[in-house]
A and B are shown apart, each in its own frame.
Chain A
């Protein structure tokens, strides 16, 4: 019998709390081992790990590459896989390989297989593919069932076709379908962070509102504590509430720190939209059990008739080359915007073709707009992006721009030997392919069964049990 079958058949909410161990909110950056091991000593019923997010921008979804370094992904997977199999409990991992797209799911499966081979492990692996075809998105676009989230333009059909990867965030209805098959380890492509932690409790009969609220908090592990951290977090879920406890004895879950976490990366602190409905936190209640643990209750859930699907898609923009340089001359610093414009115009004549320039002038408002009187007159850093149809053109534009800015004659110039300081050469660096988000939308009436494909493989050969 697999770990999931065993849990689903033997645990009844009336028997006592369900212990959920959140091992990582970002698998692949080094799960703190001591706290994780303390968590395992508490005999959790399952382990959950989030492995991805849309936060690092469109590059990872667009390229299909993992953001986390592969050796550290392997180290973290070894830790949680070994512990879950030794304890005979399910391991649930969501948003495989950063963006949860097909190549990232495949790369994560490959690492799991490599670990299993090296260590002689056997387990039943269930996978969920979260990729959508452009045709599925275009059909939704044509039916008017695709709505942007926030200020996102509605894409054209061509823009949808340009997406290199499109993923949907599977929710607990999909993960439940996957977990109804025999499973020791569930690895999902793009998934709602909450579904990773809420699905098994929901299947066991715990109230949806509590499952989701618990999941919403523990998916970031000890980030809800004071001081905040990345250590494993234990939730003990009952039918009337749940208790939160960091597995780092020095990170305390207090009512204030847990309540504050409801605001984190969340547009609305009172209403959280999930695929199956809305989690309502206005009546949530936080109570200290002691200086280290907090008891949470009171969240409500308003289900919607049909689950919605959040989709994400990224398209290639071009190849990027980046010019890095410093400026220290006060007169030059006083006329930088004009100088950059004048040099760009000159380079446009010299280097024809389809290339774009984006300048970031650090010290003069690169991070957020600064009024003129706050512009640095002592030193500024230039990060100038050139994005072109091909890398050679981007590099050509960057190189020609660099030399022309280096020797640009601006009014009042005294430093006639050169305008730029380079920390190294080449100071123009190929930065790979540039992507942009085309889709960050909600799809209504999405064909969830067609989109999310469930796979199953006996790793290390057929299981004895």
Chain B
């Protein structure tokens, strides 16, 4: 199967703060096959996502929700939201590195 970017397989790919110290990323896939492909592959493993966000694998928590064809990642924010030096107070634009992940 040809590799497909995540942005073509999911209808919602979003990031947001879960409190000022954590970031949470939700991915809602178009259908069950797309979800299954992502869940089975290594491209969206905890270690792959950790590498993408320059974190250690242990810092990334992945949740699988096959019932709604969704996947969730929770990771620490590098800087507490809105503290000097932060670039995204709401954490709403931290999804971008995932869009091009090939599945």
A residues near B, CB below 8 A? 54-59, 148-152, 256, 259-260, 263-270, 317, 356, 358, 360, 366-369, 385, 387, 434-437, 440
B41 close to chain A: CB less than 8 A: no
Q: Given the complex of chains A and B, what is the CA–CA distance between A259 and B12 in angstroms?
A: 14
Query: In B29-47, which residues have CB < 8 Å from any A CB?
Result: none
In contact, B82 and A57 (Cβ under 8 angstroms): yes
Specify which of A54, A59, A256, A435 is in contact with B19 (CB 8 Å cutoff): A54
In contact, A269 and B63 (Cβ under 8 angstroms): yes
Bits for B46-89, please: 1 = Cβ < 8 Å to A, else 0.
00000000100000010101011010101011001111111111
**CB neighbours of A435 from chain B (8 A):** 82
In contact, B54 and A267 (Cβ under 8 angstroms): no
**CB neighbours of B88 from chain A (8 A):** 367-368
In contact, A149 and B84 (Cβ under 8 angstroms): no
B49 to chain A, nearest CB (A): 13
Specify which of A54, A260, A267, A437 is in contact with B70 (CB 8 Å cutoff): A260
B25 to chain A, nearest CB (A): 10
Specify which of A56, A151, A367 is in contact with B21 (CB 8 Å cutoff): A151
**CB neighbours of A256 from chain B (8 A):** 68
In contact, B80 and A440 (Cβ under 8 angstroms): yes
Name the residue on A nearest B59 (C-beta).
A151
Given A58-B82, A260-B68, A368-B94, are A150 and B87 neighbors across the interface (CB < 8 Å)? Answer: no
In contact, B81 and A317 (Cβ under 8 angstroms): no
Q: How large is the interface on B (under 10, 10 to 19, 20 to 34, 35 or more residues)?
A: 35 or more
Specify which of A268, A437, A440 is in contact with B63 (CB 8 Å cutoff): A268
In contact, B81 and A57 (Cβ under 8 angstroms): yes
Given A268-B74, A437-B80, A437-B83, are A367 and B18 neighbors across the interface (CB < 8 Å)? Answer: no
**CB neighbours of B87 from chain A (8 A):** 360, 366-368
**CB neighbours of A58 from chain B (8 A):** 20, 81-83
**CB neighbours of A368 from chain B (8 A):** 87-88, 93-94, 96-97
Q: Given the complex of chains A and B, what is the CA–CA distance between A161 and B16 in angstroms?
A: 30
B residues near A, CB below 8 A? 12, 16-22, 24, 26, 28, 54, 61, 63, 65, 67-68, 70, 72, 74, 76-77, 80-90, 93-94, 96-97
Name the residue on B nearest A58 (C-beta).
B82
Question: When A and B form their complex, which 4 residue pairs have the shortest distance between CB atoms, in order from nearest?
Answer: A57-B82, A150-B21, A267-B18, A436-B83
B100 to chain A, nearest CB (A): 11
**CB neighbours of A260 from chain B (8 A):** 12, 26, 28, 68, 70
In contact, B84 and A436 (Cβ under 8 angstroms): yes
Given A263-B72, A270-B63, are A437 and B84 neighbors across the interface (CB < 8 Å)? Answer: no
Given A57-B82, A368-B87, are A151 and B24 neighbors across the interface (CB < 8 Å)? Answer: no
**CB neighbours of B76 from chain A (8 A):** 150-151
Q: Given the complex of chains A and B, what is the CA–CA distance between A436 and B81 in angstroms?
A: 8
Name the residue on A nearest B63 (C-beta).
A269
**CB neighbours of A54 from chain B (8 A):** 19-20, 81
In contact, A269 and B19 (Cβ under 8 angstroms): no
**CB neighbours of A267 from chain B (8 A):** 18-19, 22, 24, 61, 74
**CB neighbours of A148 from chain B (8 A):** 21
In contact, A59 and B68 (Cβ under 8 angstroms): no
Most B-side CB within 10 Å, residue of A59, A268, A360, A434:
A268
Given A256-B68, A265-B24, A266-B24, are A367 and B19 neighbors across the interface (CB < 8 Å)? Answer: no
**CB neighbours of B80 from chain A (8 A):** 151-152, 436-437, 440
Q: Given the complex of chains A and B, what is the CA–CA distance between A436 and B65 in angstroms?
A: 35
Name the residue on B nearest A255 (C-beta).
B68
Q: Given the complex of chains A and B, what is the CA–CA distance between A57 and B70 in angstroms?
A: 28
Name the residue on A nearest B83 (C-beta).
A436
**CB neighbours of B68 from chain A (8 A):** 256, 259-260
Q: Given the complex of chains A and B, what is the CA–CA distance between A22 and B61 in angstroms?
A: 32
In contact, A265 and B17 (Cβ under 8 angstroms): yes
Q: Given the complex of chains A and B, what is the CA–CA distance between A56 and B85 in angstroms?
A: 15
Specify which of A266, A358, A385, A434 is in contact with B18 (CB 8 Å cutoff): A266
In contact, A436 and B96 (Cβ under 8 angstroms): no
Specify which of A55, A269, A360 is in contact with B90 (CB 8 Å cutoff): A55
16 pairs, CB–CB < 8 Å, chain A vs chain B: A54-B19, A56-B82, A57-B82, A150-B20, A150-B21, A151-B76, A263-B26, A266-B24, A267-B74, A358-B84, A358-B85, A368-B87, A368-B88, A436-B83, A437-B20, A437-B81
Most B-side CB within 10 Å, residue of A265, A270, A387:
A265
Given A259-B67, A267-B74, are A55 and B83 neighbors across the interface (CB < 8 Å)? Answer: no
Name the residue on B nearest A257 (C-beta).
B68
A120 to chain B, nearest CB (A): 41
In contact, A265 and B18 (Cβ under 8 angstroms): yes
**CB neighbours of B54 from chain A (8 A):** 369
Q: Given the complex of chains A and B, what is the CA–CA distance between A387 and B83 in angstroms?
A: 12
Given A436-B80, A436-B84, A437-B80, are A149 and B21 neighbors across the interface (CB < 8 Å)? Answer: yes
Most A-side CB within 10 Å, residue of B20, B96, B97:
B20
